[in-house]
Structure 1
Amino acid sequence: MQDRYEIRDKLGQGGLGAVYRAYDRTLKREVAIKRISTSDDVPHNAEATKQMTQETGALAALQHPHIVTIYDVGTDEEGPFVVMELLKGKTIDEIVESSAPLTWKDFREFAMQVQEGLIAAQDLGLVHRDLKPSNLMLNWLPSGKFQVKIVDFGLAKFAAEPIFQDVTDGDAVYGSIFFMAPEQFERKKIDKRTDMYAIGCVYYFALTGVMPFQGETGQQVMAAHLEHRVVPVSELRPDIPSWVCDWIMWHMNRLPEDRPENTREALQTFIQLDVPITQSMTPDPQPPAPKRPRLLVPGAEPVAPAPVAPSPASEVRPAPPVTQTMPKPLKPPEDAPPSLHTTDQQTLVSAGPEASPDAPPPAAAVIPNVPPKVATASPTAEVVPTSTATAKPARAVPTAQAVPTAQAVQATGPAATEASSFGHTTIGSTPKPPKGLSSSAKIVIFSVLGVLILLVSWMIVTKMGTNKINKRYNELVTITAMPTTKELPVNKDDLKILLDSVGTGANTSRETVYKALAIAQSTDGTDVDEAIAQFATKETLNDDIRVSLLSRVLRKRANPSSLNYLLNYSKTTQNEQVAAAALTALTEIGGEDQVDDFIDIIQFSPSNAIRKAAEGALEGILKRSTHREKWGQTLADAYAEASDDSTRRTMIRLLGVAGGPESRKVLEGILEGDNMLDQLATIEAMKSWPDDSMFEPLMEFLEAQSDDTVRPKAFTAGYVFLMDDKRKRSDEKTEAMWRRLSENAKTPKEQDTVISGLVQIAQSEWPIEIIQDFGENSTNDRVIDRSEQAITRIKERLVILKGSKKDFDEE
């Protein structure tokens, strides 16, 4: 390598290795060289180098405009390296953090280029494994158009344990963890859908400027991924078309099977949904309808999560973060030549034209109230506006019969020149019937003229009212779209305008209207919550709109005045999707008076979706209760009366939330029995137990188990129990409980789990003793290595806590 490449300077250091600027003496060009990191304790693996050479060789043959070009790959005495084209642009995280989130037009171009690059790689069977904003670079072409380049494709596989560095560090959060899919934390098999999740997180960041899954430590971020706690894109960027927000959230679904199968499917859906506003709605032949993204409700219960300490935020969903900086269009560097591609250029997309990059989403079209100077009834007449600055020339639409409008009447007195062809009659002058007309003919003529005058008057009044409503609508959505708006003052008329706009036709600002309704505050005593609840439960609405009003708007408002509407509607509607949405809203609204209602729904509803929603609402009530244990007997009775297995196991989970002596009696009885599925439900319930009283029965059950299915679940429950930082306990009690769990860590995986947990919670020396026992008694190389690393890290932390290393050594 030294014979051909001259290393000139170091460009950066990342989780996969270091990048250097170098000069290729053979081809006389600058290149970038990446050294793949290897652990000091682990010699480089020749087989890994061989595989890397094969895969990067395939990537080099690809030569795709949106993937960094690979020139060479090899290994020397320092380990493996990759030679690639030298890029001089900025990464997407640098752009967003230094400037602002992307506008819709720039994001559209950015996303389509990324998808094109990923399709080409996936067609070769390549998986990136480490997609994040710093691995997506934007270069500016000489014409002024930006070009996306995906870097580090597939190299994550060859780094020395990059996931361990990202996940287990208790003192810092590395970049990759914000964009890693849940299956990477769970150490499950990864495939193309893992990249789908990661790129969805990147898109989320590019549009909002915030990470989709947040936390102050690596463990909290991991918990957010596994518990799927994410604020929908639509709540942070209401100016973005709603289908785009759904498309991004589709990528970020918790389970791989709920995401796009691959990038080709995702891009096909994007293109089909991105319909220009001038395109016919019924083309011939009609293309197949795009696959609707399958979305999961944020905060939904995770499926078989890895052992993770729940974050305190898991009980109460935090308020959505706001975009700190207004989106701005991307521009070439200042020293670049003038751009031929301006982001201000009009693009016909489903979102409609934008007035400016920073403008709020457009509202319903407002017809300018500018009377033309001349108008005739001819179908081909040109309508000339009074000022070209306020209205563009438009051609009148031919109709079967000319109908006077408000603009067809001149209000300047006798000199009016407007005319409407009706026999020989001119509007604006006294009609002169021809000679020889009978009295009945005169009556008919004057009657028709009277009707026309009334019709014109009605249209004038209607148009004035419509313009007034449209103007107020635009004011409301403009105020709502401002990032600083937290409350929206409304009166009864304002509320009607917002509700009517939701329920009628296509509305490009519907997401903004949902936000407006969620933050609306009455200025005239109108009960906003009751009005929204009545509208959502009684009006004829599209199911998607009704679900959004129930599960998003009313749930966010969480006002008891809508409670009875939602509860009654959930019991009477035949639509299980809408009923479940009403019950979801009750998760934040319901009180202890509704406990029996929810138990009835769980026991008697034939719909699994409705039963699950009722369980979630009841769980929320129990967690908010200051004396939840009093409901133990009620739930125990419901458990005893359950008519099917599903209802019985639902009651088991709820008994774990309630806690108390009655609940404990039921759960201990199940653990002593022989129904394995009920035991698994009980183990899951113990994770939610409100105090430490069930830890001992759980450990006794664990020690008596040999079943390969039940035992790992019980161990994981014990770990989650200890990692729950909402449980306050003394250091002595904490030590005793961790020692009890460590005694039951029989496999290398379980020992590794204990080590990981102790690294994060260690505030004194006793965790070192437990970890040393693992290292000294284990024959597993990974456990031994992890033990040594963990002890070093804990000691470093204790030095900081105690003030100096000298003090620590003396003690």
Structure 2
Amino acid sequence: MSDERYEIRGKIGQGGVGAVYRAYDTQLRREVAIKRVLAEEGEGYEDPEIATKNLLKEATALSSVQHPHICTVYDAGVDKEGPFVVMELINGKTLDEMVERGTLTFDDFREVAIQSQEAMIAAQDLDLVHRDLKPSNVMVCWLPSGRFQVKLVDFGLAKFSAKPSLQTIDHGDAVFGSIFFMAPEQFERTPLDRRTDMYALGCMYYYSLAGTYPFNGDSAPQVMAGHLQNSVQPLHELRPDLPHWVCDWVMWHIARNMDDRPESARVALEKFLTDETAAAQHGGTLPVRTGPQLVIPTTSPQPNRPAAAPSTTVNTQTAPQTITPPGGQTPVTASQTIRPASVITGGTAIQPARPAVASNPTITPASGPTAVTGVTAPQNTTPDGVTEAAPEGEGPTLAPDLAAAKKGLSSKQKLMISAGLGVAIIVLGGVLIGKSSTGSENKKFNELVEQVADLTARDIPTTEDDMKLLLDALADDTLTNRNAVFQRMVIAKAEGGYSIDKMVLSYATAPDTGEEDRKNLAIVIGKRGDQGAIKGMLKWATKNPNDPAAQIAIDAANKTIEEENFTSFIQILGATRNNGVRSSAEKALANVISKSRRKSSLAEQLVGAFDASVDEKYRLAMIRLLGNTGTDQARKTISESLASSNTNERIAAATAFGAWPTDEPFDDLLNAFENEDTVAAKNAIFKSAINLLSAKRKHDQDELGNRWLTLAGYSTTNSQKSKIITEAVNARADWSPNVLKFFTSQDHDDRIQSLAEKGLDKLNG
């Protein structure tokens, strides 16, 4: 790892086999998390080769899953200190930290359940088994709007497994993973599959709603016995305020036998949404059904009973608490408008009916809900009235076969195993590329996609006819292994003098190419890295700024800082209505500005665009971007916006000064903080002041210490004070003790005093 690029700023945490550090990426100017395997004897893996293999395996697993609810991997490698992985730094709290203050309300649990299931759908589409799902591996972070977002982290125990696999055993035959959330098969050393993760999710959901583990004990053997005997108190007895169908849904996940659990996250989420819709249509209760039902632990199979009306009586030890964002923002769980990717559509957002809705639910099953049991639950339904919107700020990923997901698999298709990106492709039979294709074409097609089975394969010779066969196959809506086709394009090497990248670009920008295929082909172009094709895709994006593929084109172009792209990025930002495209365009513009030697010229363009536009989102983006220029003209415009009557404009201006190249706007921020009456803007200003002082810049250390002390004096909330204490401890500067001592006085509550004293002890130690 280049010491010049990543600056370590402190240790975040340490586990049995690795340590995670907070770091700063000096090239892209962002904070990141870096994970290393412990190399000292007695800690982690003692065999460095095994350590390297396992850590890079985690990087491979994570980099294959690009999803808004899964931690993103940016980089990986090996240096003189050993292997490392550079990951997204997630600022938030773990789910178990959230549960410590109170169990989840139904609204918050609904978001956690949907978002975590969506994350697992993406992983399971790649045959990825996490094997260590638990509350401490689920992060809850907050978006600027106050919505919370769930992210799954630490796939260190995960591995690609199209077939059942055995639990990894190491360190004196100890089983990795948390004993409270491990499935019975993990103790029995029997093969694991995606249903193992579903069990862990169920235990996690139970814990988040009940405040206690479903299988508990005073010792590890007792906990293991609880799992193996499946002795668990029904959730509805601990949370009578919840709809009965929700409790049964959770208990379904923790069935003793694997066949009695949801077959996959896709099946589980469909069941949740179907039951929610049915309950909404019947006044909060589920209709009585006939036929086989879910097998609920500690009970025999029974018909679904009407869901009990929410009770006002709650166990005082499990009283639910709303998940609230830091800094005093108002939580918006009950009205979150951005939904995770749909289980039905694979890459778009859904907004299913809420239980309180008595009529006109957003999702209406095509037919009445069908009773289910085990792996058959539930039956596929086709949603009507689905609201679609791409997740804000998140890029699309290689999607599964959406047509098959909507219509259900035919008997021939069920004979095939759908392959994920980077996963071994095993073709069992059946027609893959249409009835009109010849037998020789099918055979050749199968040969091409089977080559993806070798995860190390690169630069596989590919003729022009081969590429045409792969691209033409996408026109067949019954194709079940589309991800394998896209991955085969990524690792292809032209044989015969033609250009693969031009062919892919031609298909990607063709008017009749489907939206999902266009996005995936854009990803192929980005992964291949041909600058001509990337610029061609970006040129297409300027003419189609609202297409989701435009975001991918921007992200691909942003990997190489070229100032000539500035005009294209700003055109797209001004024309698009897609939040994801807008977010990527703004990031790309900031990246170009940070590396440019013509910041004054770029600032003039931004100010001109700000003055000429009446679109608020565009104007706010221009203000934020001006902060990266550091010019006098930019400072004048930002200062005027900081005094604007528009709250959003003041917040954008504060954000801009937080990104300023020097400390100069510090006094401007303090003056604005004193005069600000709006909580949201006041919090934004304070956060920007912290960013201004903590970012890597050339600081006068004496002046920096004075500014930290001044900011400490302005802090009013425990969240603000805790942040300053953390920054002081991590900085380990000459000014750090004075700032920490400021918070040890009686003017602050006991928690802040204790935190500051611990910080002083850490500095002295």
What is the TM-score with the length of structure 2 in the denominator? 0.50
* Larger CA Rg, structure 1 vs 2: 1
What is the TM-score with the length of structure 1 in the denominator? 0.48
